[in-house]
Amino acid sequence: MSAQEWSPNKKLLIVFGVFLAAYFIPWGSSRVLGATNEAFLMLSEYAQQHVLLCLVPAMFIAGAITVFLNQQAVMRYLGPDAKRLTAYGVASVSGAILAVCSCTVLPIFKGIYKKGAGLGPAVAFLYSGPAINILAIVLSAKVFGWQLGLARAVGAVIFSIVIGLCMAFIFRKDDAKRAADARMFAAPNEKPARSLGKMIIYMASMIGILVFVNWASSKGGSAIWDAVYTFKWWISGAFGLVLIYAVVKWFNRDERVEWVVATRDFSLQILPLLFGGVLVAGFLLGRPGQDALIPSAWIGSLLGGNSLFANFFASAAGALMYFATLTEIPIIQGLLGAGMGQGPALALLLAGPSLSLPSMLVIGGELGWKKTATYVGLVVVLSTVAGMLFGTIA
């Protein structure tokens, strides 16, 4: 079925799904009314806390990658034919530096993937951004003990590389064809309009804004970290001044317009899916500490011990839930107090921050549902195995 034929059918399926929901869901019941309220409260919190400071800077970075970043350079360091040590090292380190949530990393992932990054390195970056969060790992060790904190750190680093390598191997034929097409239609090597140093300053200023404007307090866990938190707005402002200077001095009007248009296009592609996913996640699971359609007590009762089911359920539930940066810690702290085992706790820490229902919708739109299902399956299976192993020795 062609894309032209599928598009109307897909719209019809969406309309039919809305009809079924409107017809069969008992909207007047107290449980459903509470879940509906939770859905919009969660969307409200998401809009207030994450769109302006997280997603907007990420959208501009993605637009800049698409318009200005040299495609040959992306393919050289992150492409399917790049050296694995270089490609996966760059991808995992880049993701760890950003330390963003599962939704904020999506625009940048789309940007580097469209620019020619191989599937494996792009997915390694996609996982590492939310999972290898230095502050989250430090706080995990402080709150849950050094064993669980260390297991989370080691597991997240290994997972980013293993999942990327598995995706590259499973879809190697598709990736090879995509790389060949990219090389065929890539612009010939031309003298860049700006020096490498200027491009580094330009990109680093945007990344600096994204990182420091979202810098969170360690709540006494690290004096150095909290010192940066105290001055985060001054640091972000300094990066903002550098960005303004770079944009005004080094780019002409047509380039600035092209950058804004690319950012707009990314926003139109991603935001509707994210907002829809947040609504669904809020309707089903609610905000942290609040019940929605699925009572949190049910989830807590299924996570005790170290059984295969408990670890798998923790991984699968974590993959569907939306965790803003660091919110997984108080949630898991509460679940541990309710009887959750150490193994399922690690499984949830490894699967939860890196995935969410909203992010799955966006990834599916970019990679297709076959690749997305494989990626989600790898995260869930590896998290389950890691949880069982940790629960056995903890």
Q: What is the pLDDT of residues 159-170, one digit of tens each?
A: 999 999 999 999
Six token digits for residue 36: 């509906």
Overall domain count for the chain: 1
- The answer to whether position 88 is within a domain reads yes
- The answer to whether position 5 is within a domain reads no
Burial of 170 (0-12, 13-18, 19+ CB in 10 A): middle
278/310: higher pLDDT: 310
Q: What is the pLDDT of residues 58-76, one digit of tens each?
A: 889 888 888 887 777 777 7
Report which of 137, 166, 160 is spatially closest to residue 149, judged by C-alpha positions.
Answer: 137
Contact predicate 288/46, CB 8 Å: no
Residue 272 clears pLDDT 50, i.e. is over it: yes
Average pLDDT for 386-393? 92
Percent of the chain with pLDDT strictly greater than 70: 92
- The answer to whether position 205 is within a domain reads no
At residue 2, the pLDDT reads 39
- The answer to whether position 255 is within a domain reads yes
Question: What gap in Å lies between CA 256 and CA 93, rounded to an integer?
Answer: 29
Residue 6 clears pLDDT 60, i.e. is over it: no
- The answer to whether position 59 is within a domain reads yes
At residue 143, the pLDDT reads 78
Q: What is the pLDDT of residues 15-38, one digit of tens each?
A: 888 888 888 888 888 888 988 998
At residue 283, the pLDDT reads 87
- The answer to whether position 213 is within a domain reads no
Contact predicate 314/345, CB 8 Å: yes
- The answer to whether position 360 is within a domain reads yes
380/286: higher pLDDT: 380
Question: What gap in Å lies between CA 98 and CA 81, rounded to an integer?
Answer: 25
At residue 3, the pLDDT reads 42
Binned at pLDDT 50, 70 and 90, residue 325 comes out as low
Binned at pLDDT 50, 70 and 90, residue 191 comes out as low
Binned at pLDDT 50, 70 and 90, residue 185 comes out as low
Burial of 293 (0-12, 13-18, 19+ CB in 10 A): middle
Helix 146-170 and helix 172-185: axis angle, to 10°? Answer: 70
Q: What is the pLDDT of residues 333-388, one digit of tens each?
A: 777 776 788 999 999 999 988 888 888 988 988 899 899 999 999 999 999 999 99
Six token digits for residue 156: 């997240």
Percent of the chain with pLDDT strictly greater than 90: 26
Residue 316 clears pLDDT 70, i.e. is over it: yes
105/248: higher pLDDT: 248
pLDDT, the chain, mean? 84
104/246: higher pLDDT: 246
Six token digits for residue 104: 């904020």
Residue 7 clears pLDDT 70, i.e. is over it: no
Dihedral Cα 81, 82, 85, 90, nearest 10 deg = -130
Range picked from 7-11, 240-244, 367-371 for highest mean pLDDT: 240-244
pTM (2 d.p.):
0.77
Residue 233 clears pLDDT 70, i.e. is over it: yes
Question: What gap in Å lies between CA 318 and CA 343, rounded to an integer?
Answer: 13
Structural domain for 139, as ranges: 37-187+251-393
367/7: higher pLDDT: 367
Residues in the chain: 394
Residue 55 clears pLDDT 80, i.e. is over it: yes
Residue with tokens 């709540």, as numbered in its chain: 219
Residue 1 clears pLDDT 50, i.e. is over it: no
- The answer to whether position 115 is within a domain reads yes
Binned at pLDDT 50, 70 and 90, residue 84 comes out as confident
